[in-house]
Structure 1
Amino acid sequence: MKQPNILLIMCDQLRADSLGALGNGIVRTPNIDLLAERGLTYNKAYSTCPVCVPARYTIRTGREPYHTGYYDNGGLHLPADQPLNHEERCGDYLPRTMRALGYRTFGVGKFHTDPWNEDLGYEVQLRSEELMNTEEQLMGDDYARFISEQHPEYSHIEQLHGERTEMYYMPQTSPLPADLTVEAWAADRAVELIQADEDERPYFGFVSFIGPHPPLAPPVPFNRMYNPDAMPNPVRGKPETDFMDEQLSWMNYLIWAEDIDDPRARALKARYYGEITYIDQCIGKILDAVESRPDSDNTIICFFSDHGDHMGDHHAWQKESFFESSTRVPFMVSWPSRLPEGERRDDLVCLTDLFAIATHAAGQTQTRDGIDVLGCVDGTALQRKYLFGWYGKPGLPTFKVMVRDQDWKYIFIANGGREQLFHLKEDPDELTQLAEGFPDITARLREAATEEMNRHKGLAPALEFRQLRSFPYKARPLTRIRQFNLSKGVSDFTVN
């Protein structure tokens, strides 16, 4: 059989439980749900480092943070003897690998690379980033240039995707009409690239939407699609459980979200859902383009997100924790000519596995730090027993580790040496902390984490005498984030 086309579609900060196909009875996502009907949906899929930059390097390398060096958005954390060049350290990026396997390659959307203009190996790469810190970066952003050159009537807008800083978690409406937002632009460019027929090679495409990442600013009429009074309140545990991870309260203050009440939380969820339904409509255009080709049945589509968003659950906003709302992601794989339809699976999978899915489909599987998900489907590969997550520079109090098996989740927080244990089979909302009540299970999962960490040099600073290293508990000084358009000379609230 001819090599299939391969299309990866990613949203940013999309919770797994915010899709109709994954049990949400409010939000409307008919096009994404169609992917679930036509393929496999994974109930236990995770971002092993649930924050923007690390998740993206995991996807493009098939490597975990102990190889990529990205454990947070704060830059590289590498042992001294590791090469700084990412591909020298991790292997060729996925698009460069797929080119070598005979594919024409394109990437559209948010890449969040380090540096911002890093060459990822695509034959065609069209960028649309959230923040532009220099004029060079502004001119290198394909979406910003599209607005400037083709729709100069909107060039006065400082932040095309919505206002940030203190407005980060305020309900907003897009300053642009629905056919000119970054999501519409990304979908339109993807359609053009999918339908291109410049050669006989199959295509490998990556489409990365900025939304529904805050600011929550869907365009008209999606801004009023959902009634806030019909939205559920956040699901909160006991504060002493939710705030065992000190980063949550620190992050709330950082993003101006430390005192969001239930009415505002419901309004934010309504805008979040409006943005999701809008993106679903944009994805529908892409799926129509796939279907318009004669080889649509031999096209594998993977849909996922880089991480979730607490959206007020556990008294928290944003991501960067190992609660399900932050670290669990949607993960769907459709390949009509090869895979079952409408099947739900409980395999433990993660973003690291996308590298193996693509290379397996192309005929030369590279699992790297992941597993062969497609091999697990046909019985030629083994599923995971444990899935691990990592966050924060090893050797600092911000370091955290997660261990997930089929029924349980263990979390170790270096700041204070705190441990959490949740029985997700019976407590999917993670409201009851069981580490002290089930010491044997806590010890088993702690040992699994320790054994795994002892295998990887990059994690060595997070160990002490080959055991998990802890620090006396200490809260970080509170600070506010300021995210203005630096490329236009705006850096603070003052008028220039």
Structure 2
Amino acid sequence: MSSVVEAATMPLASPNVLFVMTDQQRFDTIHALGNGRIHTPNIDRLVARGVSFTNAYSTTPICIPARHTIRTGCDALTTGCFGNDKRDAAHLEDRCGPFLARRMGERGYRTFLVGKYHAHPRDIDLGYDTRLSAEAYRAGTGHEVKTTAREGAMIHLPQRNALPRESNYEAWTTDRAVELIEEEGEKPFFGLVSYEPPHPPFAPSPPFDRMYDPDRLSNPVEGDLAVDHMDEKIPAQNHHFWTTRENGIDHTTARVVKAHYYGMVSEVDRHIGRLLDAVEAREDADDTVICFFSDHGEMLGDHRGWEKTSFFESSCRVPFLVSWPAELPGGERCEELVSLTDLFGIATTAAGSPELRDGVNVLGMLRGDDDPRERLFGYHRTPRLPPNFTAMVREGDRKYVFMRNGGREQLFDLSADPNEVDECAGDHPEKTAELRSALVEKLTAEGQTAFVENGTLRHAPAQEIDMGRLVREPYPASPADALDGSE
């Protein structure tokens, strides 16, 4: 690979490092990277400021495991976290080493986290000097983060944020983050600013709830139903989130939902602009590394599915922008495979003492000093359900997906078929076998006997998965009970 950076000198002083994170944002929601329908002028500023990685993945595409990957630099085989089971995260430092914020503090940084962090227990020490999250928001405003929109059966229906946009959680998060960015001192800063949107409920504030005309937006991508729902978790999630197992949501409603989802992206984009303004007002703005990314994507009706946990691109591929004007050129694109595991190494390498763990040295790769990743592996398993382990191998333009439930396999050629509607494992048995063998070798080397045995991937008889319905608060036994004497 040719180097993106002409000169390979590292600065003498440690740069600031700012991570900006959204929740459930698809890779294809940035105007400057090809989505002409969406308005993201400030994320576009980040594109112009640095390098955009166009093949970036969340290797365990669901909330808690993805965030554990970011804070540890380790994938699910190391963290042991394959799904959203609410285990005590304190054990992760025993398995993986100190969290990223703790490591950056050891390197002489003042550290802060503002916004969502999604770890258990709520009072866990993640290593930050300052942490301002939902509890601080409630104490300062009296508002609840998630009471401005209905959940349960309405979580994917278009809604509206009832709070003024100047005082909702995202605005508060930005206000606090700007204060911390503007703070002067002898130490450089390492900060994580973590936004809740565009995670459902899909409830942007006015006027973002009416920015997009649904009739001007595209329908979801659909292939053959047998391929779209080969992973039984997709129809199971549809039922869980109150959509039909086979068809999810009709196209008209799906476009309305997309309009609100895009509105949430644009609303967060406005806040990101304020963060950028605060960075650019500093004298050391050019020596501030900014990484923008999301924990995973959102199916948004593609392949007749919603939410995440799938290894279709709309679920597992994420935005991933890295800028450092003092060291990296602006407006560049990079097609090499990167993932959330690499963020740990970006921060520690910028700080002058690289610690890669399960990641690759992205900054070294851009400077031509380190080799790019040849293969990328991903894993997911939903806890407390029948065997449903899924795994992905991405190599070049090919993506292989294995589903333990039924021993099913998929192969896609992302160059010829970027929408993944032409499953071609049967047409390319040699490539399928090659990537299957690579997965077996990886799992065997990591001692993952739950998933591989005697050189073979473990299969389970195909069965329908039942996740039940999403109900945040139980519905009353009788409709009249909901009135609670208020008639």
1:226 lines up with 2:226 in the alignment:
no
- Shift, 1:229, TM fit: 1.2
1:189 lines up with 2:167 in the alignment:
no
Per-residue CA deviation, residues 241-274 of structure 1 (Å, 9 max, x unaligned), is 0010000000001011224111110100000011
Give yes or no for contact 2:84–2:382 (8 Å, CA) kept in 1. Answer: no
Task: Name the structure 2 match of 1:426.
Answer: 416
Give yes or no for contact 1:161–1:182 (8 Å, CA) kept in 2. Answer: no
Task: Name the structure 2 match of 1:415.
Answer: 405
Task: Name the structure 2 match of 1:143.
Answer: 137
Give yes or no for contact 2:300–2:307 (8 Å, CA) kept in 1. Answer: yes
Q: Give the residue type in structure 1 aligned to 2:231.
A: D
1:175 lines up with 2:162 in the alignment:
yes
Q: 1:470 aligns with which of 456, 459, 466?
A: 459
Task: Name the structure 1 match of 2:92.
Answer: 86
Counterparts of 2:145 and 2:28 in 1: how far apart (Å)?
Answer: 32
2:269 match: secondary structure = helix
Task: Name the structure 2 match of 1:261.
Answer: 250
- Shift, 1:116, TM fit: 2.1
Counterparts of 1:98 and 1:438 in 2: how far apart (Å)?
Answer: 46
Per-residue CA deviation, residues 6-34 of structure 1 (Å, 9 max, x unaligned), is 00000000000011122111010010011
Q: Give the residue type in structure 2 aligned to 1:225.
A: M
1:443 match: secondary structure = helix
Counterparts of 2:145 and 2:344 in 1: how far apart (Å)?
Answer: 36
Give yes or no for contact 1:42–1:349 (8 Å, CA) kept in 2. Answer: yes
- Shift, 1:161, TM fit: 4.5
Q: 2:129 aligns with which of 101, 104, 123?
A: 123
1:376 lines up with 2:362 in the alignment:
no
1:415 match: secondary structure = coil
Give yes or no for contact 2:111–2:191 (8 Å, CA) kept in 1. Answer: yes
Q: Give the residue type in structure 2 aligned to 1:39.
A: G
Give yes or no for contact 2:82–2:380 (8 Å, CA) kept in 1. Answer: yes
Task: Name the structure 1 match of 2:302.
Answer: 313
Counterparts of 2:179 and 2:466 in 1: how far apart (Å)?
Answer: 48
Task: Name the structure 2 match of 1:401.
Answer: 391
Task: Name the structure 1 match of 2:21.
Answer: 10
User: CA-atom RMSD, angstroms?
Assistant: 1.7
| Equivalent residue runs for 1:155-166 within 5 Å | 155=143, 159-166=146-153
TM-score normalized by the length of structure 2: 0.93
1:229 match: secondary structure = helix
Q: Give the residue type in structure 2 aligned to 1:145.
A: A
1:106 lines up with 2:112 in the alignment:
yes
Task: Name the structure 1 match of 2:291.
Answer: 302
How many equivalent residue pairs?
464
Counterparts of 1:74 and 1:237 in 2: how far apart (Å)?
Answer: 31
Counterparts of 1:88 and 1:70 in 2: how far apart (Å)?
Answer: 14
In 2 relative to 1, CA 105–43 (structure 1 residues): closer, same or farther, beyond 3 Å? same
2:112 match: secondary structure = strand
Per-residue CA deviation, residues 216-261 of structure 1 (Å, 9 max, x unaligned), is 1000111111111111111111101001000000000101122411
Task: Name the structure 2 match of 1:58.
Answer: 69
Task: Name the structure 2 match of 1:243.
Answer: 229
Give yes or no for contact 2:156–2:257 (8 Å, CA) kept in 1. Answer: yes
2:71 match: secondary structure = helix
In 2 relative to 1, CA 441–158 (structure 1 residues): closer, same or farther, beyond 3 Å? closer
Counterparts of 2:370 and 2:226 in 1: how far apart (Å)?
Answer: 41
2:114 match: secondary structure = strand
- Shift, 1:90, TM fit: 0.8
Give yes or no for contact 1:63–1:370 (8 Å, CA) kept in 2. Answer: yes
1:210 lines up with 2:196 in the alignment:
yes
In 2 relative to 1, CA 384–191 (structure 1 residues): closer, same or farther, beyond 3 Å? same
Per-residue CA deviation, residues 277-300 of structure 1 (Å, 9 max, x unaligned), is 110000000000001110000000
5+ unaligned residues in a row in structure 2: which ranges?
A: 1-11
2:141 match: secondary structure = helix
Counterparts of 2:141 and 2:382 in 1: how far apart (Å)?
Answer: 38
2:264 match: secondary structure = helix
- Shift, 1:341, TM fit: 1.2
Q: 1:288 aligns with which of 274, 277, 287?
A: 277
Task: Name the structure 2 match of 1:449.
Answer: 439
Q: 2:311 aligns with which of 322, 331, 352?
A: 322
- Shift, 1:75, TM fit: 3.9
- Shift, 1:160, TM fit: 3.1
1:72 lines up with 2:83 in the alignment:
yes
Q: Give the residue type in structure 2 aligned to 1:363.
A: G
Counterparts of 1:470 and 1:121 in 2: how far apart (Å)?
Answer: 40
Q: Give the residue type in structure 1 aligned to 2:224.
A: K
Report the identity percentage.
47
Per-residue CA deviation, residues 395-416 of structure 1 (Å, 9 max, x unaligned), is 9621011000121000000000
Per-residue CA deviation, residues 413-450 of structure 1 (Å, 9 max, x unaligned), is 00000000000011000000001110011011111111
Counterparts of 2:198 and 2:278 in 1: how far apart (Å)?
Answer: 23
Counterparts of 1:332 and 1:316 in 2: how far apart (Å)?
Answer: 27
Give yes or no for contact 1:412–1:419 (8 Å, CA) kept in 2. Answer: yes
Task: Name the structure 1 match of 2:50.
Answer: 39
TM-score normalized by the length of structure 1: 0.91
1:144 match: secondary structure = helix
In 2 relative to 1, CA 20–423 (structure 1 residues): closer, same or farther, beyond 3 Å? same
Per-residue CA deviation, residues 359-382 of structure 1 (Å, 9 max, x unaligned), is 000000001001000010111111
- Shift, 1:84, TM fit: 6.7
